[in-house]
Structure 1
Amino acid sequence: MESSHAAARAPGLDELAGFLTRLTRLLLNTSGEGAEGIEETVTATARALGGDASLLLVPDAATLTVTAADGSARTVTVRGVPEVFRLDQVTALKPLLAEVGAGRMGVAGAALRLTRIEESRPPYPWWAKLIGIVLFALGFAPLMQPTWYEVASTAVLATIAAALAVAADRRPRLSAVLPLLVSTVISIVTIEVFARTPSHGGPVLLMLPALFFFVPGDYLSAATAELAAGRMTTGAIRLVNAVFLLLQLYLGVLLGVYATGTSTRALFDIAAASDLPRWALFLSWIVFTAGTVLAFAVPYRLFWPLLALVYLTVAVQSLATKLIGETAGTFVAAVALTATATVLARSPHRPPRLVLLLPGFFTLTVGSLGMRGLTTLAGGYVIEGFQDLLKLVTIVTAIAVGMVVGATVVRRE
């Protein structure tokens, strides 16, 4: 009696395939930090609704096969653009999937909720995203050079970069060349206005905080983590994409150098003497987290738990680095962050793992090393450039393996 009643409520193929296709597309569109979990989520949701599903996945597409309770099947190709800029949608999706998984919601109700999530407006206006990108860069600036000059120049340069990013949201065609455009403009302004004397540090060190929002260090680490977890196709494709974005930024810096008539020898990598007090360095992580919330559309109620995870990551990395060195310290911090976020995300009432990971993950990200290495090489400083690139490969691998270990140690339920 029970099974026949369940079969009567089981959705038809059209209903089930339509819902799972839209779900897969939304998951792809928010998978800039990695496609891990998409297949598991879609197949588990299909089973909860009385059907079955299988996926063949690459970073920007999936071949989805849906089987209904009556045995009928359909295969569709789903395409998406992997990004991480609407984490409010990721956050809203988790309780929906939890209700479906618990059997409290059928496909019709789930489809209506999914429509509301898809059609929802960003939680913050455009000017808040602009402010968020600026705060994001200001929080990162002391990591490059702990000087007041670095902070002041970043405030100006990041405002320019943020204005271009917001403009690209309204002009989608601009998005394809946004990294190249931003790095070219920032390079010209930095060289002409801020990098007038070596006492303020190298030009690239002045540029990087403003470009950090566009530097694909997180993509590089996510790609390496996917490779380490055995997801060869998604990892390799994401790695190529991350390298392409990094090369766009590098080319933009060089175009700025050529446009100003400056010698590439000006791309030296020397830091200025520190003059920031310790309290400013400590508070910079608060600014950084606030910027992350606004720039990536994270619900503001999550600010405090995300800030706690940022400070946890920084504290573990700092302590472990002093004890066992930078590479091992980064590995230990990645394990601690991933394990903590995985445990916290188990509850359906808490934020998704991706949202919990992201700010702390940015504190470990190393895309700036790739930029520094490439520009230092372009400036003719071969040994220093290759040292930065070798460090990039080492740290990326440490983060990726640390994430895999952290997730494995506390296995998600």
Structure 2
Amino acid sequence: MTAPIPEQQQENHDPDALHGFLRELTRFTLRFSGEGAEGVDRVVRGIARTYGGRAETVLVADGAVLSVTAGGRTLTSTVTAFPDVARLDRVVALKEFVERLRDTRPALSEAAAGLRRIETLPSPVPRWARGVGIVLFSLGFAPAVQPTWYEIGTTALLAALVAALTVLSERRPRLARVLPLVAATLVSLVTLGLLRPEHGHGGPVLIMLPALFFFVPGDLLSAATAELVGGFLTTGAVRLVYALVLLLQLYVGVLIGVAATGTSTDALFDTAQDTDLSRWVVVASWAVFTLGLILAFEVPWRLAGWVVGLVYLALGVQAAGTALAGEVVGTFVAAAALAATADLLARPPGRPPRLVLFLGGLFTLTVGSLGLRALTSLAGGHVLHGFHDLMDFVTIVTTIAVGLLAGAALVPARGLQA
């Protein structure tokens, strides 16, 4: 007489159960992890192998076609999910969850329940704290735009308005879709209509930029370019178009403020004010920036040291490389060092995910603000200056993307493990 097969073992070899779980895992990874096409594919294929099956994915930026082969059957389905990196605590929980699956291989019903628990995790910070994070995020970035006390003071006011608007939009999906446009319009109206910065305070766009940096898609542009260079043409192209749409929302919002206040477009020339901050204040400002990032993107506090370390690594390598060989070389080397370090540090079990380690440093390198400055300079009739910014924008974004790929190539491949 043949011994009965345990119920868990039967379930784990059921093609329908495996396909259903991998479908939910694909959707979750697309929606919450913020990983590019390579990362999503690696996680799904790795877990399929853990359960004795095989999975193949064809990915676009907001969807996937998933094929799962198990028990002599192949099942195919489509998955759609809008990518979002606003909740990095879920990214951390996802990596820990995938590691547990690989080590313990629980029943698929238990694994599915665990995935649902991650999806419904309560926010680790209250809504008001996320608003504080956006303000600190902007304040920490402000000295990188203009190292002046005036820039910090105006950013405090403008970022507080943006933070309040962002927190308000969390329960209003329609407002969230056009939030960059609304935020840029508000910041432009207050800057040009109320603050009216004098010529010695720098150009109006430079005053606005730190408060809008939360919406500037520099990281998205770099990631899209990296995917295109790496051969993920569909995901890279869609991500690039989406990043440009976000950038255009900011641009149009600034122009609405210009028109509403009757300001001449000539004022959009982005002259910078002479510095009145010490070097140590500028260096310390990135710690404020990182604290803001932790609150705004809801990174667990236990990972704060990792995030701070990678931010200052990127800054230090970029500064050294720029001093030795110029901005392009410095940015390339910093991007490569950031990618290689984040990848290596994230691999051991129990370590933070690559995205969490990577994101803060990438923000310090990205230059989406250059794109906005280029567009506003062109709108103001400053053609030569605008095209100069535009060329810098294209050059640096491409440099970052190629640097990220070079850094990834320096470390051994992960294979299909999650």
Pairwise same-fold verdict (TM > 0.5): yes
Alignment match, 1:357: 358
Aligned residues: 411
Identical aligned residues as a percent: 56
Q: 1:259 to 1:32 in 2, by over 3 A?
A: farther
Offset at residue 403 of structure 1 (A): 0.5
| Distance in structure 1 (CA, Å) of the matches to 2:197 and 2:12 | 69
Residue 356 of structure 1 aligns to a residue in which SS?
Answer: helix
Offset at residue 9 of structure 1 (A): 5.6
Alignment match, 1:228: 229
Matches within 5 A, 1:287-298: 287-298=288-299
Offset at residue 26 of structure 1 (A): 1.2
Moved more, 231-240 or 92-101: 92-101
The answer to whether the 8 A contact 2:313-2:338 is kept is yes
Q: Does 1:300 align with 2:288?
A: no
| Distance in structure 1 (CA, Å) of the matches to 2:308 and 2:172 | 33
Residue 101 of structure 1 aligns to a residue in which SS?
Answer: helix
Residue 54 of structure 1 aligns to a residue in which SS?
Answer: strand
Deviations 1:134-183 (A, max 9, x none): 00000100000000000000000001111111111111111111111110
The answer to whether the 8 A contact 1:33-1:219 is kept is no
The answer to whether the 8 A contact 2:37-2:232 is kept is no
Q: Does 1:328 align with 2:311?
A: no
The answer to whether the 8 A contact 1:195-1:206 is kept is no
The answer to whether the 8 A contact 2:11-2:17 is kept is no
Alignment match, 1:403: 404
Offset at residue 282 of structure 1 (A): 1.4
Offset at residue 412 of structure 1 (A): 4.1
Residue 288 of structure 2 aligns to a residue in which SS?
Answer: helix
Offset at residue 373 of structure 1 (A): 0.4
Alignment match, 2:74: 73
| Distance in structure 2 (CA, Å) of the matches to 1:296 and 1:174 | 19
Q: 1:65 to 1:33 in 2, by over 3 A?
A: closer
| Distance in structure 2 (CA, Å) of the matches to 1:313 and 1:412 | 22
Match of 2:66 among 58, 64, 67: 64
Residue 37 of structure 1 aligns to a residue in which SS?
Answer: helix
> 1:361 corresponds to which letter in structure 2?
L
Residue 347 of structure 1 aligns to a residue in which SS?
Answer: coil
Deviations 1:289-316 (A, max 9, x none): 0011011111011111110111111010
TM-score by length of 1: 0.96
| Distance in structure 2 (CA, Å) of the matches to 1:250 and 1:215 | 10
Residue 62 of structure 1 aligns to a residue in which SS?
Answer: strand
Segments of 4+ in structure 1 off by > 6 A? 3-7
Structure 2, unmatched stretches of 5+, are none
Q: 1:12 to 1:33 in 2, by over 3 A?
A: closer
Alignment match, 2:39: 37
| Distance in structure 2 (CA, Å) of the matches to 1:265 and 1:405 | 41
Structure 1, unmatched stretches of 5+, are none
Q: CA RMSD in A?
A: 1.7
Deviations 1:191-220 (A, max 9, x none): 122233111100000000000000110110
Offset at residue 31 of structure 1 (A): 4.9
Offset at residue 98 of structure 1 (A): 1.2
Matches within 5 A, 1:11-410: 11-32=13-34, 34-68=36-70, 70-410=71-411
Moved more, 193-202 or 310-319: 193-202
| Distance in structure 2 (CA, Å) of the matches to 1:195 and 1:26 | 46
| Distance in structure 1 (CA, Å) of the matches to 2:7 and 2:63 | 36
| Distance in structure 1 (CA, Å) of the matches to 2:128 and 2:175 | 18
| Distance in structure 2 (CA, Å) of the matches to 1:71 and 1:299 | 42
Residue 76 of structure 2 aligns to a residue in which SS?
Answer: strand
The answer to whether the 8 A contact 2:216-2:247 is kept is yes
